[in-house]
């Protein structure tokens, strides 16, 4: 465009002017532009070019702003946050507040300075009690009896007092020494 302006004003050297004239003979678009430049006033052309440039810039800026960003509706965001809050609360509850289930023994490996005690819990009639709790007194070491009323528990090396409880039966305390390897415990029914 600038070269065509210089051609129109007669400011090009003769060899370059000759090349532009040869191009104008073969290019209809450029020859139309030179003809339009001859008719129009230069100040008016510059103003029109500036306005067109401004409009193009404005249109490109609008297209950039219209990019769609993925947005969830507010209710979906609230639902995700609610589920996340419940999951965190569940983890905290089970980690800090829930009592361990009776189906699993807590101590699977005996400590280095302890002994293992096995036993069976029955009622006065000889029925084996499943689900009875056997706990070392003043300790968190406890187990629940499995099928057939059997249990295995780790005892401290110095021996311990066991507290045995089961729903519908009176609690019972027995003292065991490190020499005890097996015990049979009979619970009396509540009256």
Residues 121 and 179 reside in one and the same domain: yes
Domain shared by 125 and 182, yes or no? yes
Q: Does residue 147 lie in a domain region?
A: yes
Does residue 165 lie in a domain region?
Answer: yes
Write down which residue in 24, 39, 65 finishes a domain. Answer: 65
Q: Are residue 122 and residue 60 in the same domain, yes or no?
A: no
Alpha-helix runs per DSSP H in the chain = 2-9, 14-26, 28-39, 42-65, 74-92
173 belongs to a structural domain: yes
Is 128 within the bounds of a domain?
Answer: yes
Return the pLDDT at 83: 95
pLDDT score, position 105: 46
Question: Among residues 65, 80, 103, which one ends one of the domains?
Answer: 65
Residue of 185, 98, 96 lying closest to 135 (CA atoms): 185
Backbone torsions φ then ψ of 150, nearest 5 degrees: -85, 150
Q: Does residue 77 lie in a domain region? A: no
Whether residue 179 is found in the same domain as residue 118: yes
Same domain membership, residue 118 and residue 181: yes
How does DSSP assign 142-155, residue by residue? EEE--GGGEEEEEE
pLDDT of residue 86: 93
Kindly report the CATH number assigned to the domain that includes residue 150. Answer: 2.60.40.1120
Question: Can you tell me the distance from the alpha carbon of 174 to that of 161, in angstroms, rounded to the nearest whole number?
Answer: 6
- The confidence score (pLDDT) of residue 101 equals 54
| Residue 33 included in any domain | yes
Task: Give the pTM.
Answer: 0.42
In-domain check, residue 183 = yes
Is the residue at 72 inside a domain?
Answer: no
Residues 183 and 126 in one domain: yes
Structurally, the chain folds into a number of domains equal to 2
Q: Mean pLDDT for each consecutive 10-residue tract of the chain (191 residues)?
A: 77 86 85 77 77 87 71 84 94 77 48 76 90 88 89 85 91 87 89 74
Q: Find the domain containing 129 and state its range.
A: 114-187
């Amino acid at each position: 465009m600038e070269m065509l302006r210089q051609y129109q004003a007669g400011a090009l050297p003769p060899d370059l002017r000759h090349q532009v004239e040869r191009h104008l003979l073969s290019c209809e678009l450029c020859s139309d532009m030179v003809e339009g430049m001859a008719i129009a006033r230069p100040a008016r052309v510059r103003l029109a070019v500036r306005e067109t440039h401004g409009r193009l810039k404005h249109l490109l800026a609008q297209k950039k702003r219209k990019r769609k960003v993925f947005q969830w509706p507010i209710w979906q965001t609230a639902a995700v946050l609610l589920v996340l809050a419940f999951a965190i609360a569940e983890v905290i509850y089970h980690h800090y507040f829930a009592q361990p289930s009776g189906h699993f023994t807590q101590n699977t490996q005996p400590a280095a300075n302890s002994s293992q005690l096995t036993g069976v819990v029955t009622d006065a009639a000889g029925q084996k009690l499943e689900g009875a709790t056997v706990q070392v007194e003043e300790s968190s070491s406890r187990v629940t009896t499995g099928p057939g009323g059997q249990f295995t528990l780790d005892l401290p090396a110095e021996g311990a007092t066991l507290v045995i409880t089961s729903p519908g039966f009176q609690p019972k305390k027995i003292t065991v020494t490190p020499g005890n390897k097996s015990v049979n415990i009979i619970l009396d029914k509540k009256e």
